Amino acid sequence: MITNNQIAETFEQIADLLEFQGANAFRIRAYRNGARSVRDLADPIAGLMQDPEVDLTKLPGIGKDLAAKCRELVEHGTIAMLEELLREIPVSVLSLLRIPGLGPKKAAVLHRELGIDNLEQLAEACQSGTVRKLKGFGAKTEEQILKGMAIAEAAGQRIYWARADEIAQRLRSFLSSCEAVRQLELAGSYRRGKETVGDLDVLVDSSNVNEVMDRFQQFEDVADVIQRGDTKMSVRLRSGLQVDLRVVPTASFGAALQYFTGSKEHNVLVRGRAKELGLRVNEYGVYRAGENGEAVGPSIAGSTEEDVYRAIKLPWIAPELREARKELQWAEQGELPTLITAEDLIGDLHMHTTATDGAASIEEMIAAARQRGLRYVAITDHSRRVTMANGLDPKRLRSQWQQIDKLRASIPDDFVVLKGIECDILEDGTMDLPDDVLEEADWVIASVHYGQNQSRERITERIVSALENPHVDVIAHPTGRLINRREPYQVDLEAVMRVAKQHGKILELNANPARLDLNDVHCAAAKAMGIPIVISSDAHSVEGLDVLRYGVLQARRAGLTRHDVANTRGWPELKKIMGHPHAKQQ
C-alpha cells in the first residue's frame, strides 16, 4: 500500500521537476503545499480512498487536481505526469537539487548551459572553473557548491530515522504475520536511534529459514533481491534502501541482536571486557576463551541481550547509548541513566498557527495537544522579520494574545495556554520585536533564520546577545542545521552554553526530523553544564505535534533523563527554573 510519505515525496519530486523546467510558480507551490499536507495527515490516504464518504478535496492543500493524482498513485503506483517529466529530464539531475542553496533554477542553468546531469560532472565543472563563467554564478558559488557536495552525497545514501521507522513498522507487521517467526527485532543504527539510517537490519528467530525468507521477498516494497544465502538475505526496496534479514536460532537471538545493533565501537569495548574476563563474545553467543582466545565449549549466554551483558558482569545497556562514549563506565559504576520517555513530556513550547505559516488555528492546536495528554502549550508564531511566513508585528501579536486571553476562560484549569512568540535575532544582533512587547509574553523563543552565512564570531555574538535579553527564555534550533540539506551555521556553542548557564536560560532540542537540533553530543554537553533542554515540536499543523517522540529519541542518545528536560515539569515548576520572573500566566 502506498504510504503518505511516498505520496508526499512524489509531489515534492514533481514540484522540483516543474521548477527545473521553469513552470508556473503557483502550480509548483500547489504541489509543495500538497506534499506537506499529505505528510502531516494522521490517516493514510490509501485508506481514506476506500471510504466513499471521504472527499479528498476537503483535505487542506488538496484540490481537485492533486486529489486525482493521489488516486492515480495509489491505484497504479505511479503518475503519468511524473513519468512524462522524467522522460524530459534525466533523473540524475535530481541529485543536483540536494546541494544546499543550489535550487532547481540554478540546476536548470547548469544542465542547459553546461550539459551537467550529475554530481560528478558538476564537481568537475566547479574544479575547472567553468561554473563561475555562467551569469549569476561566480567563484564563491563554485566554492559553496563544492562544500555542499558531501551533503548531497549523504542525502542520497541515508534517510531520516522517522522515514526509516515508517518502513520498519510496516516491515515488522508484515513479517510478524509469518507463523515461522518466533521473535523479530530491528537492529543497527535504526535501533540505536541515529538521526539518519543507511540501511535496515532485521533479525528473526526461527527454525524455518526458507519460510521466513519467502515471506520477506513478498514485502510489497521489495524491488529486487541482492542475495539470498543460508541465513542471510538482502533486498533493495523501491526507495533504494537496502534491508538485510538474518535468521538465527533462539539460543543465539540475544547475542545476534547485541552484535548487529552495534555500534562497532561499542562492540569493541564489549569484546575487550569479555577478553579480560576470559570470555569471547560474538554474534552466536558468549563462550569461554581458550589459550589463543578462541571460543571453547558450549555457549554460556546468548538467548537474550540481558544474558550477554550479565555474562560480562554488566547490566543491560539501552541501545541509544551504545556509541562507545561513557556507557560502559556508567554501567560498571551503576550509574546508567534512566532515560527519558515520550510519556514524560507534558508540555510543548514551540508551535505555529494560521496566523503565520501554520495549517491549524489556535483552538485546533490546543484541542490536539489536550487530546495527546499534554498539560500546557505555548503558541509561538513567527515575528515580523520572517516575511515569507507572514510574521507578526507588535499590533498583530498583541491581537493574538488578546484572543488567547479570551480562550483561556473556556479552557479547563488543568490545561495552560501560554502567550508566546518565536522572535528572530536580527543580523545586527537586536531582537525583531521591542522589549516592551516581549515583556508581555509568557514565553519568548529567540532564533536565527537570516544571516546564517555570517562569521562564527558574529553569529555567536547575536545568540549571546539574545540570551542576555531578560525577556528571552530559550534559543530555538541553536545550530540552524537541516539534516542532509543544510550544514549548521558557524557558532561557538561552548560560549553560547556558558552564557545560557550564567543567565539561567534554556536550549531547545527541536524534534522536527529534519532538524533534531541540538544534536545528541551537544545535548549531552548541555546536561554536563546543568543547562535544561526543552524538547519542542515546532509543529506547523495538528499532526506536527507527533514529532515530539523523535526529539525524545535524540535526547535518549544524549543520556538525558526526565530531570534534564524542562517540559517534563508542570508550568508552575518550570517557571521556577527560568532565569527571570517571567510570565503572567499562572
Report yes or no: 492 and 538 within 8 Å, Cβ to Cβ: no
The pLDDT assigned to 26 comes to: 84
In contact, 351 and 378? CB cutoff 8 Å: yes
Whether the full predicted model's pTM is greater than 0.75, yes or no, is yes
pLDDT of residue 251: 97
Cβ contact 361:548 at 8 Å = no
> What secondary structure letter does DSSP report for 101?
T
Domains and CATH numbers, the chain: 4-157 (1.10.150.110), 159-248 (3.30.460.10), 264-332 (3.30.210.10), 342-577 (3.20.20.140)
Q: How far apart are CA 75 and CA 40, in angstroms?
A: 21
Cβ neighbours for 254, distance < 8 A, ≥ 6 positions apart: 301, 302, 303, 304, 305, 306, 307, 308
Q: What is the structure's pLDDT at 583?
A: 44
Q: Are 536 and 551 in contact (CB under 8 A)?
A: yes
**pLDDT at 550 (0 to 100):** 98
Residue 376, pLDDT score? 98
pLDDT of residue 382: 97
Closest CA to 241 of 168, 293, 184: 168
pLDDT computed for residue 585 by the predictor: 47
Other beta carbons less than 10 A from residue 161's beta carbon: 23
Strands (E), 436-499: 443-447, 474-475
Instruction: Give me 176's grid cell.
Output: 510478524
Burial of 458 (C-beta count, 10 Å sphere; 0-12/13-18/19+): middle
SS3 523: helix
pLDDT in tens, the chain (586 residues): 677 878 888 998 898 888 888 888 888 888 988 888 887 776 788 888 888 888 888 887 788 999 999 999 988 888 999 888 888 877 677 778 777 767 778 888 888 888 888 888 888 888 898 989 888 888 888 888 887 776 666 556 789 999 999 999 999 999 999 999 999 999 999 999 999 999 999 999 999 999 999 999 999 999 889 999 999 999 989 888 899 999 999 999 999 999 999 999 999 999 999 999 999 999 999 999 988 888 889 999 999 999 999 999 999 999 999 999 999 999 999 999 999 999 999 999 999 999 999 989 999 999 999 999 999 999 999 999 998 889 999 999 999 999 999 999 999 999 999 999 999 999 999 999 999 999 999 999 999 999 998 999 999 999 999 999 999 999 999 999 998 878 899 999 999 999 999 999 999 999 999 999 999 999 999 999 999 999 999 999 999 999 999 999 999 999 999 999 999 999 999 988 775 444 444 4
Give the pLDDT of residue 312.
97
State the cell numbers at 301: 549466554
Nearest CA among 40, 88, 33 for reference residue 65? 33
Would you call 374 helix, strand, or coil by DSSP?
coil
Residue 114 grid coordinates: 553546461
- pLDDT for 396 equals 97
Return the sign of the alpha-carbon dihedral for residues 205, 208, 213, 214: negative
